[in-house]
C-alpha cells in the first residue's frame, strides 16, 4: 500500500504542469544544461578565434613595418642619390674646385664656407667622387631643399626684423610726413630712429637733417 501511494505521488509530481520534479522543470534543466554546454563550446571557439586573429594582426604589423622601412630606405636612397647628382653637377664640378687654384694653402683660408669646401674637395681627391666623400654636402643639400627648413628660416628672419623694430625708440623730433613714410618703409625703420651717441650726448637727426642734441 505505501508503495502504491508513493508511485501515485510520483506520477502526480511528474505530470504536474510546473513545480519541482515536474516534466516542465526537467525540460528546463535539460535545456539549461544544453545552453551551458553550447556557451562553453562557443567560448572555446571564440578564444581560439581571438588567438588566430591576434596572430594574423601581429603578422600584418610585422609586414607593414618591414614594408615601411623598405619604402623609407628606398626613398632616402633616391633622395640622397638625387642630391648627390645635383652636388656633382653644380656645386662640386671639377671646374669649380678651389683646390685646383695655384698657391692655395689651408692657412690662407679664413672663411668658414671656403674651409668646408676645401676639406670636402680634399676628401674627394683621397677617396674619389662618391657618397662617402660628399655625404655632409649631400645632407646639407637635402636639408636646404626641405620646405619646412625654408619656412623656419623665413620665420627666423621675420622674427629678427620684428625684434629690431620693436626695440627701436621712436625719434621724438620726427615730423608727421617722415613718420608716415617710416610706417610704410619698414625696411629702413631703424634708420629713421637711430640716434648717434657722442660721449654724454644723444644726437637725433630730424626730418630737416638738423641735429638736435640732448644732454644726458
**Predicted confidence pLDDT, tens digits, the chain (216 residues):** 444 445 555 555 555 556 566 666 777 788 888 888 999 999 999 999 999 999 999 999 998 898 888 888 888 888 888 888 888 887 777 777 877 776 777 777 778 888 888 888 888 888 777 777 888 888 888 888 888 888 888 888 888 877 766 666 666 677 777 777 777 776 666 666 655 444 444 444 444 444 444 443
- Residue ranges per domain, the chain? 2-75
Note the residue count of the chain.
216
State the SS3 of the chain.
CHHHHHHHHHHHHHCCCCCCCCHHHHHHHHHHHHHHHHHHHHHHHHHHHHHHHHHHHHHHHHHHHHHHHHHHHHHHHHHHHHHHHHHHHHHCCHHHCHHHCCCCCHHHCCCHHHHHHHHHHHHHHHHCCCHHHHHHHHHHHHHHHCHHHHHHHHHHHHHHHHHHHHCCCCCCCCCHHHHHHHHHCHHHHHHHHCCEEECCEEEEECCCCCEEEEEC
C-alpha to C-alpha distances, 8 to 2, 3, 100, nearest whole angstrom: 10, 8, 124
Amino acid at each position: 500500500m505505501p508503495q502504491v501511494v508513493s508511485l501515485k505521488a510520483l506520477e502526480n509530481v511528474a505530470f504536474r504542469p510546473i513545480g519541482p520534479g515536474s516534466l516542465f522543470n526537467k525540460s528546463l534543466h535539460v535545456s539549461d544544461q544544453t545552453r551551458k554546454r553550447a556557451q562553453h563550446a562557443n567560448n572555446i571557439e571564440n578564444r581560439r578565434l581571438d588567438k588566430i586573429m591576434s596572430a594574423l594582426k601581429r603578422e600584418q604589423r610585422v609586414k607593414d613595418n618591414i614594408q615601411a622601412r623598405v619604402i623609407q630606405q628606398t626613398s632616402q636612397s633616391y633622395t640622397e642619390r638625387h642630391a648627390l647628382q645635383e652636388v656633382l653637377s653644380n656645386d662640386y664640378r671639377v671646374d669649380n674646385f678651389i683646390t685646383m687654384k695655384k698657391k692655395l694653402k689651408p692657412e690662407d683660408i679664413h672663411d668658414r664656407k671656403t674651409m668646408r669646401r676645401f676639406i670636402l674637395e680634399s676628401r674627394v681627391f683621397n677617396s674619389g667622387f662618391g657618397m662617402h666623400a660628399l655625404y655632409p654636402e649631400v645632407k646639407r643639400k637635402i636639408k636646404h631643399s626641405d620646405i619646412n627648413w625654408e619656412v623656419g628660416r623665413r620665420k627666423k628672419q621675420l622674427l629678427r626684423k620684428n625684434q629690431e623694430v620693436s626695440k627701436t625708440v621712436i625719434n621724438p623730433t620726427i615730423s608727421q610726413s617722415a613718420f608716415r613714410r617710416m610706417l610704410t618703409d619698414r625696411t629702413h625703420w631703424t634708420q629713421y630712429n637711430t640716434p648717434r651717441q657722442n660721449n654724454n650726448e644723444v644726437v637725433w637727426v630730424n626730418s630737416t637733417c638738423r641735429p638736435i642734441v640732448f644732454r644726458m
